[in-house]
Amino acid sequence: MLVKSYGSTLQGIDAITITIEVNVSPGVQMFIVGLPDNAVRESQQRIFSAFENNKYKIPGKKVIVNMAPANIRKEGSYFDLPIAVTILAATEQLVSENLSEFLIMGELSLDGSLMPIRGALPMALKAKEEGFKGFILPRRNAKEAAVVEGLKVYGAESLKEVVDFFNGTGKLEQVTIDIETEFYDKYADFNIDFSDVRGQDGAKRALEVAAAGGHNILMIGPPGAGKTMLAKRMGTIMPLMSIEEALETTKIHSVAGKIGVENGLLTKRPFRSPHHTVSNVALVGGGSNPQPGEISLAHNGILFLDELPEYSRSVLEVMRQPLEDREITIARSKYSVRYPANFMLIASMNPCPCGYYTHPTKECTCKPGEIKRYMSKISGPLLDRIDIHVEVLPVEFSDLSQKPKGESSAEIRDRVIKARAIQAKRFKGTSVYSNAMMGTRQIERYCVIDKRSRELLCAAIEKMNLSARAYHRILKVARTIADLEESDVLSFVHVSEAIQYRAFDREQGY
C-alpha cells in the first residue's frame, strides 16, 4: 500500500516542503531513499522502538520510504514523526484520509515521546504559503510556529497523541497566540537604561547619531571608561522592531535553534557579543551543514566586538563583505545559501596593549613600536567601514558620585525614531531605509554641502589622508546629524561634527 505525507527541510533560512512516500509490499527490510543523511537513516531504529513501546505493529514486510524531491539532501532527525505516521497509515494502523492536509515534523524518542526541532517558524510559514490546513509538531515548538496567522498549529507530546488524532480517538490542542499582545507587551521592556551611565556626554551623543542613522561605531578608551556599559545600552535607544522585523529575526534564530521553549516571537533587537576567540565560521556562518553565524544572528540588531584588536585578523577581515552587502553567502560544491546580515557593528578597544595611553592620570608602559603593532591589527579597509570613531575617557569620581543622571533611553529613542521617520520618508520606494545604506547617487542627491563645508572637508581629507569611502561616510553621518535636528540642509556645523567622529583617522592610529 502506498501512502504520502508531508514534511519540511531547511535550506538557509527558508523551508522546502518534502513529500514522504511509503510503500509497503511483500519482502523484508526497510529502505530510506532520497538523499537522506545518517540521522535520517538512523530513524528506523527510533521509529521501530517507538512502535514497540506503544503497542503498534512493526511491519514484517518490505518498507520503502522515498523523500522527494530526491535531489535535495535531507538532514536531521526531524523526519522521524512523519515517516512513522506514514508507515502506520501504509499498514492500516492509522486513518490516512486527512494526512495530506497537514505538515508533520518531530524527532522521536525510543518511548515515542517527541523532542523539539529547529526551524519551526520557517516551516510554518512555508506550510501556510502552500495551503496546508495545519502543522503538527512537538508541543515545545508550538508557540513559535503559532506566530504564523492563518495556519492551525497543533502541539503533540508523543507519537500516540498524533495517531489518536488521525484515528479520531483523541484530540490535539490547537495552540494560538495573539501576536499583537505577544509583541507589544514586551517590545519596550528593558532592564537597563542610558540614565544609568554618568557623564560620557560625548560618547552618548555619538551613539545617538549611530542609532539614528544605522551607522557602525568604534569606541576607543582605557579600561573602565564605560565602553561596554554604553554598548549594552545601545539597544534601548534603537528604534523598536516592527512586527515584520521581529518575524524575520525570529526566523533566523529558529533555524539556528536559539528560540527558547516558552518563546514565540522575538520582540527586542538581538544583541550578540561573541568572545574574541570566535572562529571565522562561527562569526559569518557555515560548517558542513551550513548554519547562521553571529553576524546573521545579529540581523536587525547589534553585533558588539569588545577588545577589537584581540580578534584574529582573518576573523575581522571576513566581515568586510557583509558590512557592505548586508548579507553573507555560504557556498558549497552542490549548493549555496544566503543569510541576511543587516546588523549595526559596535566595537570597542583600548588605545594600546596596557590600555592607558590616553588615560589622564595613569601612565602608559607601552613602547611606541608596541602601540603601532597593536593598532595595525585593525586594517584600513575595515576601519573605513566604521562610520564613527569616538574616544571614551574615564569619568571623574566627583562626576560619578555627584552628577545627576542623564537623559533616559526613552527620551533619546524618541529623537532617534523621529530621525528614522525622516529617512523612511526620504527613501520611500527603495531598498534603503537608513542613511548608512545610501549609495553614491543618493549621497550626491541628499548630502549637498555649501562651499565653506566643502573647504573644511577637503582640508580634513588631506590632513587625515582619508579614502573615498571615508569621505562618503562622513557625508552620511552629517546627513544623520542634520536629520536629528530636523534640518533639510547640511550645514557647516553638521559636517564639522561628522569629521570629529573620525578620531582614529585623526590620530593616525595614535
Minimum mean pLDDT range among 44-53, 230-239, 391-400, 499-508:
499-508
pLDDT at 357 over 60: yes
d(CA 221, CA 209): 19
pLDDT at 404 over 70: no
Judging by DSSP bridges, how do beta strands 62-68 and 30-33 pair with one another?
A: parallel
d(CA 272, CA 304): 6
Residues in the chain: 510
pLDDT band at 262 (very low <50, low <70, confident <90, very high): low
Handedness of CA 146, 148, 154, 157 (dihedral sign): negative
Residue 464: in which H helix or E strand, if any? helix 451-464
- The pLDDT of 101-108, averaged and rounded, is 96
What pLDDT sits at residue 462? 86
| Higher per-residue confidence, 398 vs 17 | 17
- The pLDDT of 446-466, averaged and rounded, is 89
Task: Give Cα 407 to chain centroid, integer Å.
Answer: 29
Long-range CB pairs of 379-385 (<8 Å, 24+ gap) are 379/313, 379/316, 379/317, 380/467, 381/317, 381/320, 382/316, 382/317, 382/319, 382/320, 383/218, 383/504, 383/505, 384/467, 384/469, 384/470, 384/473, 385/216, 385/320, 385/323, 385/324, 385/469
What pLDDT sits at residue 188? 65
Query: Residue 252 in contact with residue 339, Cβ under 8 Å?
Result: yes
Query: Residue 98 in contact with residue 123, Cβ under 8 Å?
Result: no
Which residues have C-beta within 8 Å of that of residue 284, sequence separation ≥ 6?
293, 294, 295, 318, 319, 322, 328, 330, 341
Average pLDDT value for the chain: 89
Minimum mean pLDDT range among 182-191, 280-289, 392-401:
182-191
CA end-to-end span of the chain, whole Å?
A: 77
pLDDT at 16 over 90: yes
78-96 pLDDT tens trace: 999 999 999 999 999 999 8
Query: What is the residue whose three cell numbers read 527490510?
Result: 29
- The pLDDT of 15-28, averaged and rounded, is 93
181-208 pLDDT tens trace: 767 666 667 888 888 888 888 899 999 9
Angle between helices 409-426 and 468-484 (to 10 degrees): 110
| Cell numbers representing residue 52 in the block | 514497540
Of 337, 238, 256, 261, the C-alpha closest to 294 is 256
DSSP 3-state assignment of 218?
A: strand
Query: What is the residue whose three cell numbers read 483523541?
Result: 170
- Percent of the chain at pLDDT exceeding 70: 94
Long-range CB pairs of 434-442 (<8 Å, 24+ gap) are 434/213, 434/214, 435/213, 435/214, 435/215, 435/476, 435/477, 435/479, 435/480, 435/483, 436/213, 436/214, 436/215, 436/216, 436/387, 436/476, 436/480, 437/214, 437/326, 438/476, 438/479, 440/472
pLDDT band at 427 (very low <50, low <70, confident <90, very high): very high
306-323 pLDDT tens trace: 999 999 988 998 888 898
- The pLDDT of 456-479, averaged and rounded, is 88
pLDDT at 122 over 90: yes
| Cell numbers representing residue 75 in the block | 538532514
d(CA 175, CA 145): 9
471-494 pLDDT tens trace: 899 999 999 999 999 999 999 999
Of 412, 477, 405, the C-alpha closest to 204 is 412
- Percent of the chain at pLDDT exceeding 90: 58
What pLDDT sits at residue 463? 84
pLDDT band at 509 (very low <50, low <70, confident <90, very high): very low
pLDDT at 43 over 80: yes
Query: Residue 104 in contact with residue 141, Cβ under 8 Å?
Result: no
Of 339, 353, 343, 395, the C-alpha closest to 217 is 343
pLDDT band at 294 (very low <50, low <70, confident <90, very high): very high
What pLDDT sits at residue 240? 86
d(CA 103, CA 244): 24
d(CA 393, CA 309): 19
| Cell numbers representing residue 418 in the block | 523621529
pLDDT at 329 over 90: no
Task: Give Cα 260 to chain centroid, integer Å.
Answer: 15
What pLDDT sits at residue 265? 81
8-state DSSP, 385: T
Amino acid at 372: K
Minimum mean pLDDT range among 132-136, 405-409, 411-415:
405-409
What pLDDT sits at residue 324? 87
d(CA 506, CA 510): 8
Of 489, 509, 495, 510, the C-alpha closest to 460 is 495
How far CA 93 is from CA of 49, 57, 421, in Å, comes to 16, 8, 59
pLDDT band at 266 (very low <50, low <70, confident <90, very high): confident
The pTM (predicted TM-score) of the whole model is 0.88
Residue 2: in which H helix or E strand, if any? strand 2-11
pLDDT band at 510 (very low <50, low <70, confident <90, very high): very low
Judging by DSSP bridges, how do beta strands 302-305 and 344-349 pair with one another?
A: parallel
pLDDT band at 402 (very low <50, low <70, confident <90, very high): low
pLDDT band at 263 (very low <50, low <70, confident <90, very high): low
Of 451, 489, 449, 491, the C-alpha closest to 471 is 449
How far CA 503 is from CA of 357, 375, 485, 497, in Å, comes to 15, 13, 23, 11
- The pLDDT of 9-19, averaged and rounded, is 91
